[in-house]
Structure 1
């Protein structure tokens, strides 16, 4: 495993305010509207929070990156509203959302924070290792069941996690919907396991400005 990113620990942010309650949220045992810390999100109501919390894995990854590089970290829902204005997400109905869309996301991150943000519609394990060695963080598209390393995920992609380091043996992930004490932060996943979940696309994030690429993520 490389040491380029782990020299400084990447802070962890869940897509729910109560990270310890993620097992209840993802199983449906507790509604997101019943998150006791929902007001920390900056949402105007429980209903607004409950709609967006399951959908903002990408914003949680961005918050981790912003904190890691010393930027102020906005609350999740105001950050999401800015992303909506930038075309990063598109409401397509009362209950449906298109996004996170990579190209406007990369452009928005570059303009607002002057970070390197490069959409990568084709991304390999070798690319992840190389970018990690450069000190970059990577938002990568995986199936959400990576949190338990499901032996038979139904598909690849659909959920964004932050690759905070990688090496020949595997990748280290901060997962916005990971399980506390198991797969939330610094979860090492061997490449052979990772391949079952990984859609082969993502966004590279770094300190310096870069031109955004073209790609989309259909949902978070």
Structure 2
């Protein structure tokens, strides 16, 4: 497969923040020097949201592929207005991404055709991509280390840009180095160990 040509964006404004976040939690993001690029009003708002916006990073990449650049937190706020995220102001928790409101949001705001798919087999992803250009796939975040066995499937979103009968290619918003971030190639069988058989197909 050729390089995707799709711009890569991390869910952190500084892509190298993944390992500090894994070690220290979201407080590590209080040291991200590029936080203002996120569209957050404060660094605390950025740190609170950035651990939850893998889906918005995927959307940002889809929009960038057609020449539009939107700050990640601006996308998150707009998606929240549609119900794509639920914010608990008491304990500061954020629930999401919730697929159905996201589909409505991207259709209304950006004219994207999108569909939630909850029972897709890994082997069927190439066929999905023949119908729509992108697939936002739910995987375990440990996919950044494909040699490991994940404790479960799902919980993190990556942007699948290409797939064949044997290989899949994706951008991972929380990859920890260049090899695990942009245009990651994995055998379908390896991807399957992390994939929760659900996601959102999107056509730009």
SS in 2 for 1:12: coil
Bigger mean CA deviation after superposition, 105-114 or 27-36: 27-36
Q: CA deviation at 1:150?
A: 4.7
**Which residue number corresponds to residue 21 of structure 1?**
17
Show structure 1 runs of 4+ deviating over 6 A: none
Aligned to 1:83: 79
Alignment partner of 2:137 out of 136, 140, 144? 140
Partner of 1:183: helix, strand, or coil?
Answer: helix
Gap runs ≥5 in structure 1: 208-220
Whether 1:195 and 2:188 are equivalent positions in the alignment is no
- Structure with more of its chain in helix, by fraction: 2
Task: Quote how far apart the aligned CAs of 1:24 are.
Answer: 2.3
Between the aligned partners of 1:176 and 1:137, the Cα distance in structure 2 is 15
RMSD, aligned CA: 1.7
Distance 1:95 1:154, change over 3 A: farther
Which structure has the higher relative contact order (CA within 8 Å, separation 6+)? Answer: 1
Q: Alpha-carbon deviation of 1:135?
A: 5.2
Q: CA deviation at 1:133?
A: 2.8
Aligned mates of 1:141, 1:128 — CA distance in 2: 12
Matches within 5 A, 1:90-169: 90-92=86-88, 93-134=90-131, 136-169=133-166
Indicate the larger mover: 137-146 or 25-34: 25-34
> Are 1:9 and 2:13 matched, yes or no?
no
Q: TM-score, normalised by structure 1?
A: 0.86
Q: TM-score, normalised by structure 2?
A: 0.93
